[in-house]
Structure 1
Amino acid sequence: MRAELLARIESLLPTGGDLPELQRYAAMLRDYPQRGGKGLRSELLLGTARAYGVAEGSPEWERALWLAAALELFQNWVLIHDDIEDDSEERRGRPALHRLHGVPLAINAGDALHVYMWMAVRRSGVDQALDEFMAMVLKTAEGQHLDLAWVETREWNLTPEDYLRMVRLKTAYYTVIYPLRLGALAAGREPSAEFEAAGLALGTAFQIRDDVLNLIGDPAKYGKEIGGDLLEGKRTLIVLHWLAGASAQQRTVFLERMNRARTEKNAGQLEELLTWLRESGSVRAAQEFADLEAQRGLAALAQALAGAPNQHATEALLQTMKVLATRDA
């Protein structure tokens, strides 16, 4: 479906006309969408619609495709802004947009894609979709605020529950819960109340797996810089678990280095911190917690979809979610 969704996205975007600078602007809007990505959120939305009996080529399928395109636009404008906020170097194996064009132009491109997201939502014709997208954006912004605020205020006096609350807001709602809900709405069905519990668990597992891959993943598959979370000073379940058992000396060294600006972090010293984390039991503990969350979420999702008319599509959806929550790339 990625080619079809990209075609829908590009059908909304300007071509730039005969002005070279507006042609550059049009190319910037297409940059992140054309880089690809796994498309997991849109796949989840479409899979949910299939599970509820929506057939390809039907009016309901058309609604689902426009909502899936809107989700992809959401993902891309959020990533442009997120890369700026985190001062990231790479996205999907290439320099982040603001590294290529500067921060002001990248912000502007993200703002524009935000508006094109709403255009795609409107094209879907699903009345409830506007409220769903507004709620999704606001939940994600709350989680992003927590994540950024802890870095800005140098707050390390945090518990694993603080981390879990942040990732549920920042990741779980837009990665799992709202794609499930939107897929059901495209099919003309009322979203299951059980989607939230399932999505919170599965979204948490997804984010923890991402945190693990940031430390030990294959750079060629991961698409982002390994160790980037440490450069950005991210508070992850791995780090919080490690800090709770670290020696006083290691803790002091770690926090002193983490509280430096990104540009002041030494590559050799960062590698030492990575070694401490990798050689501790904290990565394994995070993986085990993610596995439990994945199992719990999959069981809840299976229960929520037990009565869906297309059980073949339901099984495919559950398999997609299993890959999402236990991924190794």
Structure 2
Amino acid sequence: MRAELLNLALSLLPQRGPHPELSRFYDMLADYPRRGGKGIRSELLLASARAHGVTEGSAAWGRALWLATVIELFQNWVLIHDDIEDDSEERRGRPALHRLHGVPVAINVGDALHAYMWAAVARAEVPAAFGEVLDMIHRTAEGQHLDLAWVERGEWNLQEADYLQMVQLKTAYYTVIVPLRLGALVAGATPNPAFTEAGLALGTAFQIRDDVLNLVGKAEEYGKEIGGDLLEGKRTLIVLHWLSHAASEQKHIFLDQMRRARPDKSPEVIADIHRWLLESGSVAYAQSYALEQGKRGLDLLREALALSPNRQAAQQLVHTLEDLATRQK
């Protein structure tokens, strides 16, 4: 399925230009899509379509594939911009696009992929999808703004509720809620209102797991640099919980490093902070919170899918989200 979605995405992108530099630009458009990825969100959309009665090979399935391609293109253009905003070094085992070609060029590539995403929306021919995708972009941008604004202002006087609001906006809508809703719409069904509450809980669990993996995961499985969140000054549930209990000297050292730009941070001190976090109970606290949110979201989802046309596919959808909420890589 990943190959089929990649082929659909590439079919929208120009292959060869009238000028060598435009051919180079077109290669850049295809760079992040070709790097692959787990395809979690697009697979979730297709699983939702199956649960709502869409059969593979049908006309509705073709529309579902185009909507899954929308999610893939959205993910890739957002990641290009996200890597710039976070000053990231790598993406999926290779240098981030702006590291290869510079920030202005990478921004333009992301903008172009955004436009081609809307071409995929048009190909899907599901009228209600336009509003869903627009809402997904709005919510994700709001969450990203909170995240970036805190970094820009050096804001660490935050509560756990602040973090949770940010991740629900930044992660939950495009990771869970909108894929679930689009899967229903492509089947001609009205999305269950409970998808939103379930998705908020499951999206929160997913993001917290991602935050944990950024500290304890394996780079070759995780797809991003381990410890990158510390270098980027990310506000996570782990760090906020740790700060509320940290010794004053450690807290002072941490805040001193976080006031610095990424290139000015000390690798040795960041390694110490990384160790302090791992040795504290904050990682376990975050994991426990994610487990609780994941269970709550799955219970809500099971109830929402109780009358689905395809019970077997609905059960598989729940299993997929259970894996997502408890992911280990």
What letter corresponds to residue 36 of structure 2 in structure 1? G
2:55 aligns to what? 55
- For 2:277 and 2:28, the matched residues in 1 are separated by 37
CA distance in 1, matches of 2:173, 2:31: 25
Q: Does 1:291 align with 2:291?
A: yes
CA RMSD of aligned residues (A): 0.7
Percent sequence identity over aligned pairs: 65
CA distances 1:234-269 after superposition (whole Å, capped 9, x unpaired)? 000000000000111111111111111001011111
Q: 3-state DSSP class of the match of 2:301?
A: helix
Which residue does 2:316 correspond to in 1?
A: 316
Distance between the aligned counterparts of 2:223 and 2:8, measured in 1?
24
Letter aligned with residue 47 of structure 2? G
1:2 aligned onto 2:2? yes
Distance between the aligned counterparts of 2:33 and 2:158, measured in 1?
35
Matches for 1:129-278 after TM superposition, within 5 Å: 129-278=129-278
Distance 1:219 1:260 in 2: 25
TM-score scaled by length of structure 1: 0.99
- CA shift, 1:16, in A, is 2.3
Structure 2 partner of 1:301: 301
Query: How many angstroms apart in 1 are the aligned matches of 2:124 and 2:58?
Result: 13
The answer to whether structure 1 residue 43 and structure 2 residue 43 are counterparts is: yes
SS of the residue corresponding to residue 244 of structure 2 reads helix
- For residues 188 and 97 of structure 1, the distance between their equivalents in structure 2, rounded to whole angstroms, comes to 38
Deviation string for 1:174-221 (max 9, x for gaps)?
000000000000010000000001000000000000000000101110
Look up the equivalent residue of 1:314 and give its one-letter code: A
Counterpart Cα distance in 2 of 1:288 and 1:211: 13
Counterpart CA distance in 1 for 2:85 and 2:69 is: 24
Instruction: For residue 11 of structure 1, report the CA deviation from its aligned partner.
Output: 0.4
Residue identity in the other structure for 2:132: E
Q: Does 1:124 align with 2:145?
A: no
Offset of residue 19 of structure 1 = 2.3
Query: Match for residue 282 of structure 1?
Result: 282
Partner of 1:327: 327
**What SS is found at the alignment partner of 1:250?**
helix
1:135 alignment partner, SS class: helix
- Equivalent-residue separation in structure 2 for 1:178 and 1:85 (angstroms): 24
Distance across 1 between alignment mates of 2:131 and 2:27: 30
Residue pair 1:41, 1:179 contacting (<8 A) in 2 also: yes
Distance 2:17 2:169 in 1: 40
CA apart distance, 1:17: 2.9
Q: Which amino acid aligns with 2:64?
A: A
Instruction: Tell whether the 8 Å contact from 1:74 to 1:117 is kept in structure 2 after alignment.
Output: yes
> In structure 2, how many angstroms separate the alpha carbons of the residues matched to 1:269 and 1:51?
49
Deviation at 1:18, TM superposition (A): 4.7
How far has the Cα of 1:309 moved from its partner? 0.9
Q: TM-score, normalised by structure 2?
A: 0.99
Q: Which runs of 5+ in 2 are unaligned?
A: none
Stretches of structure 1 that go unaligned for 5 or more consecutive residues are: none
Q: Matched residues in 1 for 2:239 and 2:266: separation? A: 19
Residue type matched to 2:265 in 1? K
Aligned to 1:87: 87
**Aligned partners of 1:31, 1:276: CA distance in 2, in Å?**
37
CA displacement, residues 95-144 of structure 1 (integer Å, 9 cap, x when unaligned)? 10000111111000000000000000011000011111111100000000
Instruction: Give, in angstroms, the shift of residue 299 of structure 1.
Output: 0.7
Contact 1:16–1:25, Cα closer than 8 Å, also in 2: no
Contact 1:51 1:314 in 2 (8 A): yes
SS in 1 for 2:224: coil
Q: Which residue of 2 aligns with 1:113?
A: 113
Shift of 1:167: 0.1
AA at the equivalent of 2:128 = Q
Once the two structures are TM-superposed, the CA of residue 23 in structure 1 deviates from its matched residue by 1.3
Secondary structure of 1:245's aligned partner: coil
Q: Secondary structure at the match of 2:54?
A: coil
Partner of 2:65: 65
